Amino acid sequence: MDQNFDVIAIYEDLLARPNFHSSLPFHPKATRRFGAVVTPYRFLEKIPCGIESCHTPHFAGYLITTSDGLETAIGSHCGKTHFGMTFTRERQRVDQAIARKRRIDAVTAMLNDMPRLLGLIEGLEKDYKDLQDKKQRLLGAVDAGFFPMLKARADRGQSEITKEVPMTKAEADVFFETSNRKANDGKGWPTKSVHLANLDGLLFIKARFKDMLVVNLITPIRDLSKTRISEIEGMKPRQLAAMAKWVGEVPQGVLKAQAVVEAGRRFFTAENIEKLVHLGADRNTLSAMINDLQGEIYPATP
């Protein structure tokens, strides 16, 4: 059974304990010896170590018991110095038990929130399937090299579409005056970039959406929903640590998945898909998809 540990928030919590003493002599100056570690603490201001011959100020330490049933507060380094491996083993036992309890509490809290989470991932899964269907349709409407080119553009964050056009004579005159080029250098007439359009929603093209949503969220959340609290409490340390780490990453993972969904919705609009013509896509093969996207309205993201 998991042990419950006292919460020590401020120094006054220590002073309020009936057996607590702010300073005690220990062996060899007295017969008193180290007993056990009760719980850790961390304060905003330093307090003196409770070992009478030490009194080293510290922010974080441990409430301990003594061989005669009293309590005091000591720093971690002080405990190791004065009590050796007996203290170190006790500190490690308590630290590990507290870490385990926090991990169990974190996973259990998610399990208790499962009805809301399941509703959330069902909505995300529906969005995922819809966007994947649109992606497959787009792949069928462009040639084999188009999507890798679009993905490379998304990876670079290059949303602006431009084309090179010849400079006017006045622009070329300024160009030649301010560069090492000459009008008759045989390198051709200089060009300039002209803005054509900005592509929306390239985050959807860039993201590894299946890994982000299905592998990291949908599948493990559904697996956890089938888990009993007793199974969580019985997990091996390594398994529990990995589970708790994933639980801590879920809120951010959900936000990232929602951002990709929103990006996908912005990408798959009639106006945006029509911009792909500027990148070499065939307008005729895109026309059916563009027509179907006209007027399509997405539900608001929760």
Q: pLDDT truncated to tens, each residue of the chain (302 aa)?
A: 456 788 899 999 999 999 999 999 999 999 999 999 999 999 999 999 999 999 999 999 999 999 999 999 999 999 999 999 999 999 999 999 999 999 999 999 999 999 999 999 999 999 999 999 999 999 999 999 999 999 999 999 999 999 999 999 999 989 998 988 888 888 899 999 999 999 999 999 999 998 989 999 999 999 999 999 999 999 999 999 999 999 999 999 999 999 999 999 999 999 999 999 999 999 999 999 999 999 776 665 55
Give the three-class secondary structure for 277: helix
Residue 185 DSSP code: S
**Token output for 48:** 């003196």
pLDDT of the residue at 216: 93
pLDDT of the residue at 3: 62
Helices 283-293 and 114-141: angle between axes, nearest 10 degrees: 150
Q: What are phi and psi of 196, to 5 degrees?
A: -110, -45
Cα 255 from Cα 257, distance rounded (Å): 5
**Token output for 181:** 């080029």
pLDDT of the residue at 299: 61
Nearest Cα residue to 111 out of 235, 26, 196, 2: 235
Cα 278 from Cα 282, distance rounded (Å): 9
| DSSP alpha helix (H) spans, the chain | 11-15, 76-112, 114-141, 146-156, 169-177, 202-206, 209-210, 219-225, 229-233, 237-267, 270-275, 283-293
Nearest Cα residue to 135 out of 273, 254, 258, 287: 273
Q: What are phi and psi of 165, to 5 degrees?
A: -130, 155
Contacts of 55 (CB under 8 A, 6+ apart): 23, 48, 49
For tokens 């991990």, the residue is 103
